[in-house]
Structure 1
């Protein structure tokens, strides 16, 4: 209970308490305190993380770090791929006699709709799209390079086969060869005594001397006759090349048989229109006669020639 002093009457007056006002003040106080607490909580909640928020943020930071490392590795892979592409254009394709792949083809992108639309709208969309683009570009370039290697490999294998088939050695060994009795070109025919084109080379050698295939091929003609070329063999070497062997004594092959370079196919004779034992030898390219001398590897020693003939 409280009293108040009245200075005019010099008496004390009893103060009556108004509980409604007190309750109202208390209510206002609590309401204000609650509001202040909410504001304070909202204010600090933007700065203070929950454990879950902290975990997610750290995870996001690690993801960004990983994406940056992946981008660096992709850049490194792109540099290595560029070096391979340069070696392919400057070396492998030059050796294979094919044109380099244009940069517009090697660096070709992807047309059509936006391939990275699903990666847009995120906080880290830029690095996500950049990584995806680099990855796609490298994969596309690897595919193009793979196709280039397939092409070059196929050409090289074909070249290797061509090297094996092209008539590259003379058909009679140096040990058994006596002399070149007639060269390629115009000459006076030894029997008819008239000027005629001689479409091959005549190798004079003893009867029975071995005749070797100058390259891999397939026998397409075995003929025995008393006139003209006499006993004759023709080999199809593929790639447009054929070789002709005439005036033979014995024939050791049959039609359809496959032969290797250096393999014995016949023996020197003097059948048909011939004045003595020799081999008439022709090289034809798409059925057009060529000078056989241009196909000989003349720097082979006797031993090297024997090794070539013994490979098969």
Structure 2
């Protein structure tokens, strides 16, 4: 219940972390790296779909704004498209190891619950470059990647941009 009903100190921390992510998503770089094409950042069974209703301790919560992909702890996560790393945080309250990539013109990807991040803020990455490892950090019940996308403050379903998951 600690991560479902955080105390006041945790709420302050959460607000700081939300502001960091919001700031990273405000970037409006003229690059159009998203035109490099898209691929899955990791392959595995999809265990959470975009927009699904979450229920925690019997109470409805915000919809899930990402796609959860089950993969073994330590599995390599790769950049789904070209971009520049805009945020690296090893331990956010809810999302644990958190990484954002700016793909240009307000398009960004977020990768949550990581066990290890292997890139640095400001680093340029190409589609397919290793960027992190799957984990279960933050509020997670097992190892998986939660991949989210935004266009500025608008949420985007990442599955709309990639081909079907390799292997079915």
* Segment drifting more, 205-214 vs 195-204: 195-204
Kindly provide the CA deviation profile for residues 153-206 of structure 1, in whole angstroms up to 9, marking residues without a partner as x: xxxxx87x5521x5x111103xxx1x1111001312356742421111111111
Task: Tell me the equivalent position of 1:265.
Answer: 131
Task: Tell me the equivalent position of 1:144.
Answer: none
Whether contact under 8 Å (1:252, 1:265) holds in the other structure is yes
Whether 2:163 is the aligned partner of 1:163: answer no
TM-score, normalisation: structure 1: 0.41
Whether contact under 8 Å (2:87, 2:121) holds in the other structure is yes
Whether contact under 8 Å (1:236, 1:243) holds in the other structure is yes
Structure 1 Cα separation of the partners of residues 59 and 47 of structure 2: 16
Structure 1 residues 233 and 186, CA, compared in 2 at 3 Å: closer, same or farther?
same
Structure 2 Cα separation of the partners of residues 296 and 188 of structure 1: 24
Whether contact under 8 Å (1:230, 1:272) holds in the other structure is yes
Structure 1 Cα separation of the partners of residues 62 and 128 of structure 2: 31
**Gap regions ≥5 residues in structure 1:** 1-157, 303-312
Could you tell me which of 135, 147, 150 is aligned with 1:284?
Answer: 150
Task: Tell me the equivalent position of 1:125.
Answer: none
Structure 1 Cα separation of the partners of residues 114 and 58 of structure 2: 21
Task: Give how far 1:301 is off.
Answer: 6.8
Q: State the secondary structure of the residue aligned to 1:298.
A: coil
Structure 2 Cα separation of the partners of residues 192 and 265 of structure 1: 35
Kindly provide the CA deviation profile for residues 34-53 of structure 1, in whole angstroms up to 9, marking residues without a partner as x: xxxxxxxxxxxxxxxxxxxx
Task: Tell me the equivalent position of 2:47.
Answer: 181
Kindly provide the CA deviation profile for residues 206-229 of structure 1, in whole angstroms up to 9, marking residues without a partner as x: 100110101000001000215211
Q: Quick check: which has more Rg, 1 or 2?
A: 1
Aligned residues: 138
Task: Tell me the equivalent position of 1:298.
Answer: 164
- Compare the two structures and name the one with the higher helix fraction: 1
Task: Tell me the equivalent position of 2:114.
Answer: 248
Kindly provide the CA deviation profile for residues 87-130 of structure 1, in whole angstroms up to 9, marking residues without a partner as x: xxxxxxxxxxxxxxxxxxxxxxxxxxxxxxxxxxxxxxxxxxxx
TM-score, normalisation: structure 2: 0.74
Structure 1 residues 226 and 244, CA, compared in 2 at 3 Å: closer, same or farther?
closer
Whether 2:42 is the aligned partner of 1:172: answer yes
Pairs within 5 Å for 1:105-120:
none
Structure 1 residues 170 and 277, CA, compared in 2 at 3 Å: closer, same or farther?
same
Structure 2 Cα separation of the partners of residues 190 and 205 of structure 1: 23
Task: Tell me the equivalent position of 2:104.
Answer: 238
Q: State the secondary structure of the residue aligned to 2:116.
A: strand
Structure 1 Cα separation of the partners of residues 86 and 34 of structure 2: 18
Could you tell me which of 170, 192, 196 is aligned with 2:62?
Answer: 196
**Gap regions ≥5 residues in structure 2:** 1-30
Structure 1 residues 226 and 258, CA, compared in 2 at 3 Å: closer, same or farther?
closer
RMSD of equivalent CA atoms: 2.3
Pairs within 5 Å for 1:1-312:
162-164=34-36, 168-173=38-43, 177=44, 179-190=45-56, 193-225=59-91, 227-298=93-164
- Compare the two structures and name the one with the higher strand fraction: 2
